[in-house]
Amino acid sequence: MSKTTVSTLLKYKQAGEKFATITAYDASFSKLFADAGIEVILVGDSLGMVLQGHSDTLPVTVDEMAYHISSVRRGTADTLVIGDMPFMSYTTPEQTYQTATKLMQAGANMVKLEGGEWLYDSIRGLTERGVPVCGHLGLTPQSVHLFGGFKVQGRQQEQAEKLLNDAKALESAGAQLLVLECIPADLAKQITEALTIPVIGIGAGKDTDGQILVMHDMFGITPGKPPKFSKNFLTEGGDMRGAVEAYINAVAEGVFPGPEHTF
């Protein structure tokens, strides 16, 4: 597999080719995913929930993110690795630069921030300093207490318009990638078509440029009731490698997510 860059993903969008993304937190799984054909891995602060057992992502620290990013990097040289910037680690541009430095030096190719237009100056500053940025809109898990739980966002007209405007602002600031989480499929389609940068969806319908799943959801090993937007690919893949390949193919063919995974 050749090295994946943000330019690779932009070419996919321009060609109308869908791509799959997954979370990973260690070298063993990042190698498994890369060998199976995954080109983009997110080292998510979701590790706070799926690895550490917390009820949300808020307790995750910058040092913990750097540790897991470095582990994932050792498992693959060619995969595009995105690192989440954890809760309250990017409240000012200066703090944002310090956090991004740690994550990039740990092995990330790009950092991901949750939030809208208020991040404009920080994103512009990062890109001016050579740090690629992925935005994250919709259900932003670090704001779970503000939302009153893990709820679908953008159902009201005013909320939908704000998400679209925020997406345009992030792109204008220099973001090269955007994640949309738990928003209505028609809104995700509108945002994807309005932006020139690639858009990755999770619970955002089939019309985004790419899809992402938490690895535990894809393998069907998440404790409790699985999220509506997830699918257990292990049942049809037979083993872990087969499950990843089934996921990649389902995204490429446009059959995942289906209507049952969509808001």
| Catalytically active residues, by annotation | 181
84 in a known ligand binding site: yes
CA distance 103 to 86: 10
45 in a known ligand binding site: yes
46 Cβ partners below 8 Å, 6+ apart? 23, 57, 84, 141, 214
Half-sphere exposure of 162 (CA within 13 A, CB side): 14
CA distance 51 to 216: 10
114 in a known ligand binding site: yes
For residue 63, the 8-state DSSP code is H
Residues 45, 86 contacting (CB under 8 angstroms): yes
Q: Is 66 exposed, middle or buried (CB count within 10 Å of its CB: 0-12, 13-18, 19+)?
A: buried
Residues 100, 137 contacting (CB under 8 angstroms): no
**Known binding site: residues?**
45-46, 84, 112, 114
**Known binding site for Mg(2+): residues?**
45, 84, 114
**Known binding site for 3-methyl-2-oxobutanoate: residues?**
45-46, 84, 112
